Amino acid sequence: MANMLNIDDLKVSLEEEEKQIIKGLSLSIKPGEVHAIMGPNGSGKSTLSSVLAGKDGYIIDSGTVNFDGSDLLETEVEERAALGIFMAFQYPIEIPGVGNMNFLRTALNSQRKTRGQEELNAADFLKLVRSIAKDLEISDEMMKRPVNVGASGGEKKRNEILQMCLLEPRFVILDETDSGLDVDAMKLVSKGVNNFSSSSRSFLVITHYQRLLNYIVPDFVHIMVDGRIVKTGDKTLALHVEETGYKDFLQLGKGKH
């Protein structure tokens, strides 16, 4: 099967200072696959997510990123979203004064519009959101608040999953969505993700804990050190990391240029 996402020897620096963060990374993801990325703090996992989502502030030094065969790096942020790329933020952003419902409906209909689909009317929209919120045990009261304002860390993460379920992307990046979740929330989120997964959807799951991977079972586990993938294996690799840490891999990241 053709790759959905294809990253080839990508090198990325910061715009603000002369510092390369991604130092030659290659990764291919096919439809329906779940890939996990683990790696020490500061190794560049969130940077990779941001670059895939199209955030400003980075310089692409070299390499290519293709999504469904077209050049992703030349695509606007909101167009990437409409193509079906979704990133659950490691630190979800607060938007004071903007109600969750309003935000969600604006986002959904913007995407639909970009894709040339009809907008969803208010009644259908409400029904849809309420059923998703119910599954994730997000209260009505939460839904009425401004986006992420006053929400706890775990509540914010759940909100990200709600957005994912509503927007129905085909490629999902979960950037440490498990961090900050209590045991029950973890199950809810995992259930949400599992219900959502299908043979045409792919996931890139960034995590520090193999715990999540018990629920969302990866086809591949990649270890990222200093801007590169230094080792790829199956789900047992995550168990290995949990036991011994990254010391076996740190050396692999050095000296390769």
Partner 1 sequence: MTDNYEARDVIDKETLSTVKSVGDTYKYGFSTDIETEYAPLGLNEDIVKLISKKNNEPKWMLDWRLKAFNRWKKLKQPDWALLKIPEIDFQDQYYYARPANMKEKPKSLDEVDPKLLETYSKLGIPLTEQKKLAGVIEDNSEDNSENRKVAVDAVFDSVSVGTTFKEELKSAGVIFCSISEAIKEYPDLVKKYLGSVVPISDNFFACLNAAVFSDGSFVYIPKGVRCPMELSTYFRINAENTGQFERTLIIADDNSYVSYLEGCTAPQRDESQLHAAVVELVILDESEIKYSTVQNWFPGDENGVGGIYNFVTKRADCRGRNSKVMWTQVETGSAITWKYPSCVLKGDNSSGEFYSIAITNNMQQADTGTKMIHLGKNTNSRIVSKGISAGKAQNTYRGLVQIGGRSQNSRNFTQCDSLLIGNKCGAHTVPYIEVNNSSARAEHEATTSKVDDDQLFYCMQRGIGEEDAVALIVNGFCKEVLQALPMEFAMEAQKLVAISLEGSVG
Ligand X SMILES: Nc1ncnc2c1ncn2[C@@H]1O[C@H](COP(=O)(O)OP(=O)(O)OP(=O)(O)O)[C@@H](O)[C@H]1O
Which residues would be at the binding site for ligand X (CB under 6 A)? 14, 16, 21, 39, 41-47, 57, 90
Contact with partner 1 (CB under 8 A) among 31, 63, 146, 180: 146
Among 71, 77, 152, 245, binds partner 1 (CB under 8 A): 77
Contact pick of 65, 82, 172, 189 for partner 1 (by CB under 8 A):
82
Report the residue from 13, 114, 179, 197 that binds partner 1 according to the rule CB under 8 A.
114
Residue nearer to partner 1 on the CB measure, 97 or 255: 97
148 near Mg ion, judged by CB under 5 A: no
In whole angstroms, how close is the CB of 69 to ligand X at the nearest point?
27
3-state secondary structure the chain: CCCCEEEEEEEEEECCCCCEEEEEEEEEECCCCEEEEECCCCCCHHHHHHHHHCCCCEEEEEEEEEECCEEHHHCCHHHHHHHCEEEECCCCCCCCCCEHHHHHHHHHHHHHHHCCCCCCCHHHHHHHHHHHHHHCCCCHHHHHCECCCCCCHHHHHHHHHHHHHHHCCCEEEEECCCCCCCHHHHHHHHHHHHHHCCCCCEEEEECCCHHHHHHCCCCEEEEEECCEEEEEECCHHHHHHHHHCCHHHHHHHCCCC
**Of positions 26, 62, 102, 214, contacts partner 1 by CB under 8 A:** 102
Nearer to Mg ion, 46 or 159 (CB): 46
Among 6, 46, 100, 190, binds Mg ion (CB under 5 A): 46
Which residues make up the interface to partner 1 (CB under 8 A)? 53-57, 76-78, 80-82, 86-87, 89, 92-99, 101-103, 105-111, 114, 119, 121-122, 126, 140, 144, 146, 163, 167
